[in-house]
Amino acid sequence: QVQLVQSGGGFVQSGGSLTLSCAISGRTFNSYAMGWFRQAPGNEREFVAVLKWNGATTYYADSVQGRFTISRDNAYGKSTLYLQMHNLKPEDTAVYYCASESSRVRNRPSLAPEDYEYWGQGTQVTVSS
């Protein structure tokens, strides 16, 4: 059974930093792209950052490029995905989700939420101005 369990998030002032974590079990990290998506009230879920299955290639939304960093590690037998967020802005306020892509070892991972089959429970990030 594949499970994604998120932690992190919270409330921060504009210009601050937060790190989100996503612990993955039941799926091999090295075979599937992993991503972070977010959804603000009244908006569609949108792509934030994706890490290719090989861990070497990253993709970022233009709105977060240079401020957010996606990464992963397998320390102590635990597979964890991270999203480091710096210089946060009020427009970054949303519920953030980690997700695992449906297709295995895809040459170019999808950036579309509908192509991700397993999701974390979501975590609120609120940035005040």
Nearest to 5 by CA among 124, 113, 97, 106: 97
Label residue 60 left, alpha or beta by phi (over 0 means left) and psi (-120 to 50 means alpha).
beta
- Which residues 6+ apart lie within 8 Å of 9 measured at CB? 18, 20, 96, 123, 124, 125
C-alpha to C-alpha distances, 126 to 30, 38, 74, nearest whole angstrom:
32, 12, 29
Q: Please write the tens of the pLDDT for every residue from 47-58.
A: 999 999 999 999
pLDDT at 5 over 80: yes
Q: Please write the tens of the pLDDT for every residue from 99-112.
A: 999 988 888 999 99
Q: Please write the tens of the pLDDT for every residue from 54-98.
A: 999 999 999 999 999 999 998 777 899 999 999 999 999 999 999
Mean pLDDT of the chain: 95
pLDDT bucket at 113, cuts 50 / 70 / 90: very high
pLDDT at 114 over 80: yes
Predicted pLDDT at 77? 78
